[in-house]
Amino acid sequence: MEKVIVGVSGGVDSAVALILLKKEGFDVEGLFMRNWDSTINNDYLGNPNNLNDICPQEQDYNDALELCNSLGIKLHRIDFIKEYWDYVFTYFLDELKKGRTPNPDMLCNRYIKFDLFVKHAKSLGADYIATGHYARIKDGKLLRAVDLNKDQTYFLADVKRENFRNVLFPIGDYTKDEVRKIASDYNLNVAKKKDSTGICFIGERNFQKFTQNYLKPNPGDILDVKTKEVIGRHNGLMNYTIGQRRNVGISGYPDRHYVCGKNVEKNILYVAFGEDNKYLESDACLIENVNFISGIRPTFCTAKFRYRGLDHPVELEYLENNEIMVKYNGGASSVTPGQACVLYLGEECLGCGFIKNVYKNNEKLWYLAN
């Protein structure tokens, strides 16, 4: 009997992955990863109003343990705290210092879940590893999930191609509603558990409060991008992202406004006013650190610039130093340095690169300068 080690998170998706693999006749065991030291700057501990609270990570482990015990499945536990700090969290902080918008979940998949996790699972005798990601692998290709609203290939696009060998995504052919129903039919303890949201190590906590534990606040001027007039003060460029419309920090301006750029060198946050999004529009971007999962190197394909973004038809110009110029003839909004540009050819996820610079009419957007 072939052994599968399943990454069990304490959520409903990985729980149903266990069920499906067990039904298929695999020898199934679970592995819970602890990637963050919950005692460090933990807002959940020492709160006199929440004396019975435990941090979500430990609650997830308790849920995972209860689940596996109910199914008669062995659950292993491994700490990757140091590795997560070295490969993911330091990257997150460095990107914030550069004024970019990082995506640490992608680095977690590349270095932790589909590298260190795989190696540890093999040391436990695994023939395959599996996770609760909404994605599919067929004929060596990474494909979008059947449930396009939950598809997670965007977050898997930076994983090394070879690390998808002997990987299973059991729920990739199911919708979220179907997954919930399976969990309910089996009366699983996590059947109605709320999906986790936000950056994994921050969770439901306040982003600004969390980051101030690691990065010193650096207030500066907020400028009207059109008039260059100072219209307010920001509390650190790290706390804002391109396209942000809420909690920008200016008062006395009733018109609609949004963050349209940053200048890290001068510590300036640029804001635009009006109903149109012209300062968010671009027609090309340069991506770096390109990772191809597929053997295909197309000239034309589609690209997503954000997880919930649309697919944009693009033309690719391959450059030196593992960089690609991605041209999309307008229509894309809020293309943001630091975010991933994920490439697709139909259902297949080809890979990704990280946005370095953004252009319009063959000129680099000066208000996005670092």
The residue from 68, 108, 285, 352 that is catalytic is 108
CA atoms within 13 A on the CB side of 370: 15
Q: Is 72 exposed, middle or buried (0-12, 13-18, 19+ CB in 10 A)?
A: exposed
Distance CA 12, CA 165 (A): 24
Q: What phi and psi, each to the nearest 5 degrees, are found at residue 81? A: -65, -50
What stretch of H or E contains 329? strand 324-333
The span from the CA of 71 to the CA of 288, in Å, is 45
- Closest by CA position to 358, among listed 66, 43, 101: 101
Please give the DSSP secondary-structure letter assigned to residue 15.
H
- Is residue 200 annotated as a catalytic residue, yes or no? yes
Q: Which amino acid is at 283?
A: D
* Strands ordered across the beta sheet of 268-273: 230-234, 220-224, 268-273, 257-263
Helix (H) / strand (E) element for 301: namely strand 300-304
C-alpha count within 13 angstroms, C-beta hemisphere, residue 59: 13
Question: 324 to each of 142, 153, 298, 341, 354, how far by Cα in Å?
Answer: 21, 20, 12, 10, 10
Catalytic residue among 200, 260, 301, 349: 200
Does the annotation count 285 as an active-site position?
Answer: no
String of b and e for 104-126 (b: at least 16 CB within 10 Å)? Answer: bbbbbbbbbbbbbbbebbeeeeb
Residue 69 host element (H or E): helix 56-71
Nearest to 241 by CA among 352, 369, 99: 99
Cα–Cα distance, 104 to 87 (Å, whole number): 9
The catalytic residues are 108, 200
